[in-house]
Structures are given as C-alpha cells and as structure tokens.
Amino acid sequence: MTTSPLFYQAGPPMPEVSHGHGVFLWDTQGKEYLDGCSGAISCNLGHGREDIRDAMLAQLDRVAFTYRTQFENAPAVALAHALVEMTEGDLEKVFFVSSGSEAVESALKLARQYFVARGESQRRHFVSLRPSYHGSTLGALGVTGYQPLEAPFADITPSSIKVPGPDFYRHRDDDRDAHIRRVLDETRARIDDAGGDTVIAIVVEPVGGASTGGRLVDQAYLEGLRALCDEVGCLLIFDEVLCGVGRTGTWFAYQQWGVTPDLLTTAKGLGAGYYPVGALLAREAIVETVMASGGFQHGHTYAGNPLACATGLAAVEAIRREHLLDNVKVRGRQLQKGLETLRSRHPWIGDVRGLGLLWGVELVMDPVEKTPFPAASNLFARVTALAKEEGLLIYPRRSLNGLSGDHFLVSPPFTISESETELLLERLARALDRLDREVVAPLLA
Ligand code: PMP
C-alpha cells in the first residue's frame, strides 16, 4: 500500500480493490469480500454485469455526452418515462442530476422557486427531521439533522426547523399511536411558532439510511404530515435517494404507505453503481408554475447526459426483467430472520429494523435503557473492521447523542441468492462473536 494523495476521511489504510463479480469484490491481495451493503447502498445489481456494460458501451459508441439544453436524448426521455411509470403517475415530471445531494438541492430550489413564482416569497423555512441525512452540499446539509456534519456549517446553510421523527425503538410514549401523535404535535407546534405561511416544505426519508440506520415511518405519520402540509400550504418532499428504486421491495418506499409527496428525490441505486445518475420527480402543476415564471433557475453540467441515462435505463430494465423486486422481498425476509437470530444471541443488539433489503442493526450497552456504548469505544468502526476481516462489507454509523446507538446497515445487492444470504449471515455472525469477545465483554466487565 503506497501513500495516497487522496483525502476522504481518517481511518485505517484501505485495501486496494481488484475486481468484482455478483455480490463479491476482491482486493489486490486476493481476499474476497461479500458486498453486504452494495457499496454505499448503490450497487443494487451487484458487480461486473455484462448487460449494463453492453448498454453503456452501445451508448458510448453512439455518443457519451450531450448537453441537456442543446439536444434531447432518447435514453433520458425513456428513463424519465420509466420513473413516472414507477410512481404510477403520482409524479409526472423528471429533472435529472448526478447525485443524491444534487437531487435534494434541486428539490429545495424547485420548491422555493414555486412559491416565489406564486408571490409567496415569505416562505423561507424548510422542516426536516433530527436525525436525518439529505446530502453534503450546503442546501442539502441545511436540512440534514446529523450534528457532527452540520456543526461547522450551521451558520451558513439555509434555514431548517429540525423536528423529531418517529422512533419506534426508543420512544417512551404509551403506545405507537400516542408516539405518532406526539411527534406530529411537536412538528405542528414548531411550524406554528415559525408561522405556517413561512414554510416551504417538509422533507422526510420514508426509510432512514445513513443517519438512522433503517428507521421506518408509518402510515399514520405520513398521513399526518400530508395533512399538515396541505393545511399550511407547503410542499411534502420524500427523499428516497437511498431507499428508492426498489431497495425496499417496491419501486419507491412511500408506495407501501400510500401517501404521495409533491417532490421525490432518488439517486444511488438508479445507476446501480455503474454511472452516477439521480433524479428529482415533481408534480406537473409545480413544474408548470415554475416554467411559466421563466424556467427553473438551476442545473448541473452532467445532468441527464446520454451515458448516465442509458446506464440507469439498463439498470431499471434489469430489475424488471429479472423480477428483482420479488427477490428483494424474499431475501429480505431471510435476512430479517437471520438478523433476529443474531439479536437473540447478543443482548447488546438492541434493534433490527428495515424493509426489503435495507436493514439497520443498532447496538446498545443497556438493552433496557437503550443506552448507547461510550462514543470513545467507536463500536461502529470496530464492528465494520471485524466484518471486513471476516470478508463482509457493512455500512456503519456512529452513535448520536441520545438519539441512537452505533448502528450499521446490511443492504446487499438485489441479486443476492439464498446461499449468499446465508454466507452473509455466517460472516456477520463471526464478526459479532468476535466483537462480543474482543470489544463488548471488556466494556461491560
Ligand atoms: N439523501 C439521502 C437519503 C442519502 O442517503 C444520501 C446519501 N447517503 C444523500 C441524500 C446524498 O447522496 P449523495 O451522496 O449521492 O450526494
């Protein structure tokens, strides 16, 4: 391993990747890893797929790049139609981008421009959850509720009112309904404090990922949010950058609760890790208002280029052709069962939650009080390192003061087979046994 000029984050030196096939990756030393988190929940079809490569090569042979304001391109139009079909027509308009953060930026800016066009420029606040993750650019960071990331930039990001979201693991209300009512009442009170007519939109991840480790909303909560938005006249934005495009077993997670947003963001899995492509979907009336006011004052150079969209289209077609949403559901149940078994073996596994092939595992020192392990124990990094030693990649997050313990995501490619799911669980079991012996037991002693 040589010293690299790259700087991403502090941590141990990383192995160098050699190649990948299916759910496996190999490093240059020949070690095999099962990709238990699809990279960053993005390589949804696994590695080394010839159909995606062929589609990309065919597009490269025609043209790789054209600019969105100079040419229409067939893959972009076809992918936009595919996305509209996936939402069953709930959302009719599509704006392409190259990442999740760009999708969220686009949603925030379209929402604001919509109200400016309607003569409601006093609307300048967003409402979002704590914890949440919506991206790393300044606008998306403004609506992100993840203190360590927000802190250095809090004074220079757009205004966002941070409210609690549902937490079916940690809540101390009498029951689930009471919990939802309390969370919605608090959201309502914070909006009333700011003035309902100053709010642009409420932004929510239907299934949390990078911040909450698979935390779910429920129907009553989404219905409550929808009603609140309609009442104060603001928009509802669902951020499905991570949980969209089939990850939870339906094209979009929100479809499992039947509550429709005004704007929807997606990215990560849309290009299946083969090329960056993301999208903002919007209701037609919103787009028409903005276009009538002179057009959307926004855009990125690589947005909707032919190669990106041909890749996305090939990925969506593969999910359809191979009925992968069914596999997501079946393998998801297998994974859930296996994770629950691991939980019964280790009392410090506090919670296993998720949907489809998106599962979060939260680790706590005291399963009754749900107290996180001390931050200095860096449990999230220890478990990830042990899993990697055992040949398994998982996606970790540190504990958040009082809001969640250390956790990790298990989110393998949609193509994972029954035996590969077993192998994933075996490798995870070995990593957790070692975590128990080497890290947890000494901490609890
Ligand atoms: N929104 C959500 C819900 C995400 O999970 C992420 C990425 N983890 C983003 C936005 C930002 O996406 P990107 O990293 O592609 O900018």
**Distance from Cα 105 to the centre of ligand 1, integer Å:** 11
* Ligand 1 closest atom vs CA 42: 15
Q: Which atom of ligand 1 is nearest to the CA of 140?
A: 10
Q: What is the position in ligand 1's atom list of the atom closest to the CA of 135? A: 11
- What average pLDDT does range 317-325 have in this prediction? 98
**Top mutation candidate among 8, 37, 98, 101 for ligand 1, by most atoms within 8 Å of CB:** 101
What pLDDT is attached to residue 334? 98
- Sheet-wide strand order for 32-35: 17-21, 24-27, 32-35, 392-393
Residue 1 above 70 pLDDT?
no
Candidate from 84-93, 105-114, 401-410 with smallest mean pLDDT = 401-410
Q: Total structural domains in the chain?
A: 2
The boundaries of the domain holding residue 185 are: 53-321
Mean pLDDT of 209-215: 91
- Confidence grade of residue 9 (pLDDT, cut at 50, 70, 90): confident
pTM, 2 dp: 0.97
pLDDT above 70 for 252: yes
Q: Are residues 35 and 89 in the same domain?
A: no
Q: CA 412, CA 24: separation in Å to the nearest integer?
A: 10
What number is the average pLDDT over the span 329-336? 98
Instruction: Express as a percent the part of the chain with pLDDT over 90.
Output: 92
Q: Are 107 and 283 in contact (CB under 8 A)?
A: no
Q: Per the domain annotation, does 6 fall within a domain?
A: no
Q: How confident is the model at residue 10 (pLDDT cuts 50, 70, 90)?
A: confident
**Do 291 and 221 belong to one domain?**
yes
Contact 367, 383 (CB under 8 A): no
**Residue 410 domain-assigned (yes or no):** yes
Do 196 and 341 lie in one domain? The reply is no
Report CA(440)–ligand 1 centroid distance (Å): 31
pLDDT given at position 432: 98
- Give the pLDDT of residue 352: 97
Looking at the chain, the whole-number percentage of residues with pLDDT higher than 70 is: 100
pLDDT average, residue stretch 336-362: 97
Q: 121: pLDDT confidence band, cut at 50, 70 and 90?
A: very high
CATH label of the domain that carries residue 408:
3.90.1150.10
Contact at 8 Å (CB) between 204 and 165? yes
Of the pLDDT bands very low, low, confident and very high (cuts 50, 70, 90), residue 2 is: low
Distance, CA of 157 to CA of 148 (rounded, Å): 14
As a whole number of angstroms, the distance between CA 137 and CA 103 comes to 11
Domain boundary among 321, 341, 358: 321
CB-based burial label for 264 (10 Å; 0-12, 13-18, 19+)? buried
Reply yes or no on whether the pLDDT at 125 is more than 80: yes
Backbone conformation region of residue 216, classed left if phi is above 0, alpha if psi is from -120 to 50, else beta: beta
CA nearest 14: which of 430, 385, 413, 398?
Answer: 385
Among 38, 105, 132, 133, which is best to mutate for testing ligand 1, by the most ligand atoms less than 8 A from CB?
133
pLDDT tens by residue, 130-159: 999 999 999 999 999 998 899 999 999 998
- Residue 252 CA to residue 86 CA, distance in Å, equals 8
Ligand 1 pocket mutation, candidates 37, 98, 104, criterion most atoms within 8 A of CB: 104
For position 8, what pLDDT does the model report? 84
User: Are residues 388 and 307 located together in one domain of the fold?
Assistant: no
State the closest ligand 1 atom to the C-alpha of 103, by its place in the atom list counted from 1.
10
124 and 183 together in one domain: yes
Q: Tell whether the torsion through CA atoms of 285, 287, 288 and 289 is positive or negative.
A: positive
Both 38 and 112 in one domain: the answer is no
Distance CA 404, CA 167 (A): 9
Which of the residue ranges 5-14, 191-200, 268-277, 367-376 would you say has the lowest mean pLDDT? 5-14
Q: Do 153 and 222 lie in a common domain?
A: yes
CATH of residue 297's domain is 3.40.640.10
- Report pLDDT digits (tens) over 288-314: 999 999 999 999 999 999 999 999 999
Q: Is the pLDDT of residue 3 over 90?
A: no
In the chain, what are the helix, strand and coil shares in percent, each to the nearest 5? 45, 20, 40
209 Cα nearest atom in ligand 1: 5
